Structure 1
Amino acid sequence: MSDPYSVLGVPRTASEDDIRKAFRKLAKKHHPDLNPGDKVAEAKFKEASQANDLLSDPEKRRRFDAGEIDATGQEVPPRGFYRDQAGGFGGKYERAGAHESFVDMGGIFSEMFGERRGFGAGGPGGGFDMSGMPVTYSLRVPFLVGARGGKQRVNLPDGKTLDIDIPEGTTDGQTLRLKGQGMPGSQGQPAGDAYVEIRVEPHAFFQTRDNDIHIELPVTLTEAALGAKVRAPTVGGPVMLNVPAGSNSGTSLRLKGRGLLDRRSGQRGDQYVKLKVVLPEQPDEKLKEFLESWDAGRAYDPRKEMEQFT
């Protein structure tokens, strides 16, 4: 992966707010939902998501800046690591604390599987009788898969294909346990477990706060002034939303029970819809003529309350 600062287009001195704004700009431009079938946009979105995942976490950012982890978040072995580890079991090094993604696990697993088969004196058939070791790795899932639940197909390092059940309401950073999908045991002992840390990709317009969803919904001047029923997207699919007459940009409406499922309590959050009045892209002469003759439009000052703070 490229340097995360370069991917987001921010300097190394960028603030958290600068990073957040840069990522949102790229997400709105390259999100797969807005560019269906565009593989280039999809790749750029994933790259931006990985860069944001690293730089938006203060500890990960500190470790990356210090050279302790690379741009993918993986540990960077200190100088002389493999030499210092030599002379262990069988005179060969073993990697400790491996943490890889599904995509990158093939080489290290092959090496570890090979070493484990020859573990202990005497090679296969001798040595210790051990259960398999656990492994830990991460999996990125689309926002809506985490919100709605579903299956995510992955290819394991040993060539097997596995459909992982992503529970509804899965949030970023949660860990799933895959029993028996870790390192194989020796002498017929059972395999260890795999622990998968879920990294939920951000969405183009859904934002989460705890179990609530927040979204900005564009409406026309007519819909805001006169009121209307409009389609509003939710994680469960579009619903009809009643826009009250006289609504302004910034008006917030609540859709009860349309947020994320809290897996511990079984309760759902709400969705909050902030309206944004949008004028036509092309000038409308009739609208212009009306506004020029609309005396009431000059009779109020929407900025009057700001004067007391200046």
Structure 2
Amino acid sequence: MRDPYSVLGVKRNAGQEEIKAAWRSVAKAVHPDQNHDDPLATVRFTEAGRAYDLLRDPDKRSRYDRQQREAEFRRMEQMRRQQAERKTKAEAPRTSDEAAEDMISRIFGVDARSQQADARQQGQARPQPQAQADGAPMQDARKTVDDAAAVDAMPARGGAPAAALISAIIRRIRGGRAKLDKAPDLVATVAVTVEDILNRVRPTVETPEGQTIRVPIGAGTSDGQVIRLKEAGHRIENLKRGDAVITVRVAPGRFRTDGFDLRIDLPITIENAVLGCETTIDGPLGPLTVTVPAWSGSDQTIRLEGEGLVKDNGERGDLVAEIRLLLWEKPDAKMIDLMRSLREGLYL
């Protein structure tokens, strides 16, 4: 969905009255009945309704503004990381002969060589082979230390591999030679429709290794749902595979999600709004009959229980139809006279 403020053409500090007036103006301008030659008129009209639905609710608007600020912060952080990566690549010739531990030690400002010296002393303190006692050249101390110290001290000529750098960072954070047990998680987002959720379609996510993961979608799934798939994330040598953490986002369509409730626009004409009527809408599982009470204004809602998304306990949310007033395709002289008389106090 595009920025709702841009859709309605209002500033981010606009008040509710200004937002409501902007929505009425935009809805009238892009209404499908007024734009028969425009195949995208319905899309724009629906988009305007969604923007107004978000901005007129203080909680939704506050949540959206907060998410936008967080997204902007993440974009700034990503830009900083990219600049840092470009700077690191530019300095690559100077650091090409560094081992993973040396590089991380330089970044963290800690001298790893003292730790490696301790490891060598521990290795030399062990009983040496007879060949060394007879005056043979002493082997590199790295080959005599324990496995963990050997991994820490192993040189990586020509630049440290990415997996070695990640392992070194994790070791540094967890405290030197602390035993590692799990690689980082793979974090991703998948976009689905309401129909995908109801039909339990399994969207896919591709891992950095080129594998395809199918994400289970079904009961209990809604917008923002986080699904964790065990041992489906990143792979690093000698570590347990990480998990895949997938966030589900519901793409715009006929329905808008509100938790496990679904929302849909219900266009009705002025006479039906005043007198009331029965009409039919396309629900997520088929046609549904809706009774519109007399004197129903725009922004009023009709709730159809048990027609929404399925929850974890098997129950279903509701389908909420939001009334939208429509004018006829062509101007009606009698209605114009009636409206003029109501506005100007004339009675014919």
* In 1, Cα distance between equivalents of 2:196 and 2:104: 38
* Residue 75 (structure 2) aligned to one of 54, 70, 79: 70
AA at the equivalent of 2:330: Q
Q: Is the 8 A contact 2:202 2:215 kept in 1?
A: yes
Structure 2 residue aligned with 1:288 = 333
Say whether residues 1:270 and 2:321 are aligned partners: no
* In 1, Cα distance between equivalents of 2:340 and 2:277: 26
Structure 2 residue aligned with 1:195 = 245
With over 3 angstroms needed to count, the CA separation of the structure-2 counterparts of 1:112 and 1:198, relative to structure 1, is farther
Structure 1 residue aligned with 2:204 = 153
> Residues 169-193 of structure 1: CA distance to partner in whole angstroms, max 9, x if unpaired?
4233322112222222434x54221
AA at the equivalent of 1:89: A
> Residues 245-297 of structure 1: CA distance to partner in whole angstroms, max 9, x if unpaired?
6655455322111123332x4332222223233121322xxx424774x7xx8
Q: Is the 8 A contact 1:175 1:198 kept in 2?
A: yes
* In 1, Cα distance between equivalents of 2:103 and 2:6: 41
Q: Is the 8 A contact 1:131 1:186 kept in 2?
A: no
AA at the equivalent of 2:12: A
- SS class of match (1:184): coil
* Residue 102 (structure 2) aligned to one of 73, 77, 91: 91
Structure 1 residue aligned with 2:234 = 183
With over 3 angstroms needed to count, the CA separation of the structure-2 counterparts of 1:134 and 1:8, relative to structure 1, is farther
Contiguous gaps of at least 5 residues in structure 1? 39-51, 96-110, 121-126, 302-310
- SS class of match (1:91): helix
AA at the equivalent of 1:288: A
* In 2, Cα distance between equivalents of 1:144 and 1:255: 17
Worse-superposed segment, 141-150 or 131-140: 141-150
Structure 2 residue aligned with 1:15 = 13
* In 1, Cα distance between equivalents of 2:300 and 2:65: 32
* Residue 174 (structure 1) aligned to one of 225, 230, 236: 225
Q: Is the 8 A contact 1:146 1:168 kept in 2?
A: no
Q: Is the 8 A contact 1:182 1:194 kept in 2?
A: yes
Larger Rg: 2
AA at the equivalent of 1:255: L
Say whether residues 1:256 and 2:305 are aligned partners: yes
- SS class of match (2:75): coil
Structure 2 residue aligned with 1:308 = none
AA at the equivalent of 1:150: V
Say whether residues 1:220 and 2:269 are aligned partners: yes
- SS class of match (1:216): strand
With over 3 angstroms needed to count, the CA separation of the structure-2 counterparts of 1:206 and 1:249, relative to structure 1, is same
> Residues 20-41 of structure 1: CA distance to partner in whole angstroms, max 9, x if unpaired?
999xx8xxx9xxxx86xx9xxx
The two structures, once aligned, show a CA RMSD in angstroms of 5.2
Looking at secondary structure, tell me which structure has more helix per residue: 2
- SS class of match (2:216): strand
Contiguous gaps of at least 5 residues in structure 2? 31-38, 44-59, 89-94, 108-160, 171-176, 344-348
Q: Is the 8 A contact 2:104 2:169 kept in 1?
A: no
* In 2, Cα distance between equivalents of 1:59 and 1:242: 37
Deviation at 1:230, TM superposition (A): 2.5
* Residue 69 (structure 2) aligned to one of 47, 54, 61: 61
Deviation at 1:133, TM superposition (A): 0.8
TM-score (norm 2): 0.50
* In 2, Cα distance between equivalents of 1:17 and 1:171: 30
Q: Is the 8 A contact 2:192 2:248 kept in 1?
A: no
Q: Is the 8 A contact 1:116 1:186 kept in 2?
A: no
* In 2, Cα distance between equivalents of 1:135 and 1:206: 32
Say whether residues 1:142 and 2:192 are aligned partners: yes
Q: How many residues align?
A: 238
Structure 2 residue aligned with 1:242 = 291
AA at the equivalent of 2:309: L
TM-score (norm 1): 0.54
Structure 2 residue aligned with 1:103 = none
* In 1, Cα distance between equivalents of 2:290 and 2:6: 35
* In 2, Cα distance between equivalents of 1:9 and 1:151: 32
With over 3 angstroms needed to count, the CA separation of the structure-2 counterparts of 1:270 and 1:144, relative to structure 1, is same
AA at the equivalent of 1:153: T
With over 3 angstroms needed to count, the CA separation of the structure-2 counterparts of 1:160 and 1:290, relative to structure 1, is closer
- SS class of match (1:56): helix
With over 3 angstroms needed to count, the CA separation of the structure-2 counterparts of 1:178 and 1:243, relative to structure 1, is same
